[in-house]
Amino acid sequence: MIKIAVIGAGTVGVLSVIHFLGYTENVQVTCIHNPKKKILGIGESSTVAMPTLLWETLNFNPEFDGQELQFTFKTGVYYKNWRKDSFVSPIMPPSYAIHFDNFKLAEVIFKHVYLKYKNRFNELNIDIKSLKQDKNKVTINEQHTYDYVIDCRGFPKDYSNYKKVKLPINHCLVNGVEEPGNWNFTYHIAHKNGWMFGIPLKKRQGFGYLYNDNITSKNDAINDFSQYFKNNFNKDNLREYKFESYKAKNYINNRIMLNGNKALFYEPIEAISGLFYDYLNRIYFDHIFKNVSINESNNLAHDLAKRYENFISYIYHGGSMHESDFWKYASNLCSNNLKNDLWYETKNAINEKATDHRRWPFSPLAWKILDLHLYNNKNFN
């Protein structure tokens, strides 16, 4: 029996647990986390990968099993004020995604995990004081040994083992509204200083104001953010996150593998990082069980990270309706970001209707719908 430890019980930690339980029969998974530690709760919007994984590994149907998650269906992303006309970047039927309460995710999903995988799953509620490895095992806190570790502990304490990525935003203000969300898409609303997401849950709504604090002051951001709410806005109750975009120099280091914000953090546009995290687990699965080498696995992860970075730059590089300092900066930065061979290869693959969706986030049809609304079909044939 192979022993895998997943460190962390945020969204990616939970999904890593069920990935390695659900797609194997000879694996014991331990989730190591301190339930008293708060998880990061910026966004609660998924991609199609999440409900697919929940169904295939747990037969979890959000309509019947996800009420405690305050879930709502997500049928696409609604872009407002990016162009003259608002538009939807759709999720192609029959697929769908969900919005969910990520503070409840571990509690709800682990109930189902214990029912289905009770002989192969357990939790260890401790803090990580040491993490050591040799060629045969990983040892945690000098006493708990595992064959492999998936480290999903969140933002790194330092960035010496990471590469910074230049993307337009670095700050987020989050406002919660204690009213039910009555829409089934994720809002992406362009404003003069960046953009804002809006997420509907059964009993509340979440809005995140994203901006660059090198261009816009916090006070100006708060004042502009407040204009979107007639009521339900108290600047003293805002949650605030300052961040940098980065990716790991190596995603696999011998028997320790990184996922979630420990591996990469890009901004939440189109929830694109969620797809990347899902594919990282697929890469790790192939490394452990199909003997794909560490070097090949890391190269594939680097390739994917760059393609997803290109996708974000693709959204930004045409600017928005706002003629502001931020959007001039974002357009110039992201236009330069797209001057790379992988972007040209992606464009050719989409035009040829290639089917390897892992190498770029969307199907060719979804790309072309997005390109029609953003760029009048200038990027794809």
The mean per-residue pLDDT over the stretch 326-351 comes to: 93
Mean pLDDT of the chain: 93
pLDDT at 355: 66
pLDDT band at 232 (very low <50, low <70, confident <90, very high): confident
Q: Report pLDDT for 116.
A: 96
Cβ-based neighbours of 243, under 8 Å, separated by 6 or more? 155, 170, 171, 172, 265
pLDDT of residue 379: 86
* Domain limits, the chain: 44-101+171-242, 313-375
Judge whether residue 43 has pLDDT over 70: no
Least confident span in 135-149, 217-231, 342-356 = 342-356
DSSP 241-263: EE---EEES-SEETTEEE-GGGT
> What is the rounded distance in angstroms from the CA atom of residue 329 to the CA atom of residue 82?
15
More reliable by pLDDT, 347 or 258: 258
Q: Say what the pTM is.
A: 0.95
* Residue 288, both tokens: 């452990």
Of 119 and 38, which is predicted with more confidence? 119
pLDDT score for 354 = 66
CB 284 within 8 A of CB 151: no
**Residue 208 CB-half CA count within 13 A:** 24
Q: Is residue 301's pLDDT more than 80?
A: yes
Q: Looking at the predicted structure, is the pLDDT value of residue 56 above 80?
A: yes
325 pLDDT above the threshold of 60:
yes
pLDDT at 149: 98
DSSP 290: H
How far is it, in rounded angstroms, from Cα 275 to Cα 96? 13
Sign of CA dihedral 325, 328, 332, 335: positive
- Does residue 274 have a pLDDT over 60? yes
CA distance 151 to 379: 38
Would you call 38 exposed, middle or buried from its count of C-beta atoms within 10 A (0-12, 13-18, 19+)?
exposed
Q: Average pLDDT for residues 31-45, to the nearest whole number?
A: 80
pLDDT, one tens digit per residue, over 74-131 is: 999 999 999 999 999 999 889 999 999 998 999 999 999 999 999 999 999 999 999 9
Give the mean model confidence (pLDDT) for residues 339-368.
80
**What is residue 350's predicted lDDT score, i.e. its pLDDT?**
84
Torsion of CA 155, 156, 160, 163, to 10 degrees: -20
Residue 283 is predicted with a pLDDT of 96
Higher pLDDT, 36 or 189: 189
- Using the predicted structure, report yes or no on whether residue 214 has a pLDDT greater than 60: yes
Q: Which fold has domain 44-101+171-242?
A: D-Amino Acid Oxidase; Chain A, domain 2 (3.30.9)
Q: What angle do CA 294, 297, 298 make, to 5 degrees?
A: 85
* Reported confidence tier of residue 348, pLDDT bands at 50, 70, 90: confident
pLDDT-based confidence at residue 359 (cuts at 50, 70, 90): low
For residue range 121-179, what is the model confidence (pLDDT) as tens digits? Answer: 999 999 999 999 999 999 999 999 999 999 999 899 899 999 999 999 999 999 999 99
